């Protein structure tokens, strides 16, 4: 049985197959969402857990709930949207340079979320942080 015959036998046309195979072709949220930050953010990280231990070190960071949480070289906690405002690529935190960086096209943002390198032209969404014992709360 050739391809056309096989598709006919299972009730599909080549056009249907094309639509299905391209369903994932569009720029998408594979890295966690839109180029805008999530709204209604309110979660807590337990810094006593091994999985969050990177935040005990100045310059450490992690991503959780589509938010990038970092500890600055000065020891304060900051949080911004995880995805770049250009094309939704996951950002990294570069503590020694005191900025967030996108490895996709090179955009950079200050610790306060302001664009300092294009092609991104929109600032990051910034979230509040508060610490109580080992509980680090991140919220809108
Ligand atoms: S996706 Fe970040 S600079 Fe393009």
Task: Catalogue all structural domains in the chain, each as residue range(s) with its CATH number.
Answer: 1-30 (no CATH), 31-139 (2.102.10.10)
Cα separations in angstroms, 93 against 58, 82, 113: 11, 10, 11
- What average pLDDT does this structure show over 25-53? 77
Query: Dihedral of CA 99/103/108/112: which sign?
Result: negative
**More reliable by pLDDT, 1 or 97:** 97
91: CA distance to ligand 1 center in Å?
9
What the block records as the tokens of 55 is 């935040």
- 6: its two tokens: 């096989």
What is the C-alpha separation between 86 and 132, in angstroms, rounded? 34
Strand pairing class (108-110; 115-117): antiparallel
* Confidence class for position 33, pLDDT limits 50, 70, 90: very low
What tokens appear for 8 in the block?
Answer: 């006919």
Question: Does the beta carbon of 99 lie inside 6 Å of ligand 1?
Answer: no
101 lines ligand 1 (CB under 6 A): no
Q: Ligand 1 centre from 64 Cα, in Å?
A: 20
- The token duo for 14 is 């080549």
> Is the C-beta atom of 126 inside 6 A of ligand 1?
no
Residue 125: pLDDT over 90: yes
In the predicted structure, residue 5 carries a pLDDT above the cut 50 = no
The predicted-structure confidence for 44-93, as pLDDT tens digits, reads as follows 999 999 999 999 999 999 999 999 999 999 999 999 999 999 999 999 99
79 lines ligand 1 (CB under 6 A): no
Ligand 1 within 6 A of CB of 120 = yes
pTM of the model: 0.77
Tokens 């195979």 belong to which residue? 21
Helices of type H across the chain: 3-9, 14-21
């Amino acid at each position: 049985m050739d391809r056309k015959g096989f598709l006919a036998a299972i009730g599909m046309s080549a056009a249907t197959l094309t639509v299905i195979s391209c369903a994932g072709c569009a720029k998408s949220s594979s890295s966690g969402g839109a180029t805008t930050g999530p709204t209604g953010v309110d979660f807590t990280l337990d810094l006593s857990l091994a999985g969050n231990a990177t935040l005990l070190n100045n310059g450490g960071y992690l991503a959780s709930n589509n938010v990038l949480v970092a500890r600055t070289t000065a020891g304060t906690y900051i949080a911004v949207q995880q995805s770049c405002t250009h094309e939704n690529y996951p950002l990294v935190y570069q503590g020694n340079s005191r900025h967030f960086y996108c490895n996709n096209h090179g955009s950079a943002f200050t610790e306060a979320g302001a664009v300092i390198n294009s092609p991104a032209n929109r600032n990051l969404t910034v979230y509040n942080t508060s610490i109580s014992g080992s509980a680090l709360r991140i919220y809108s």
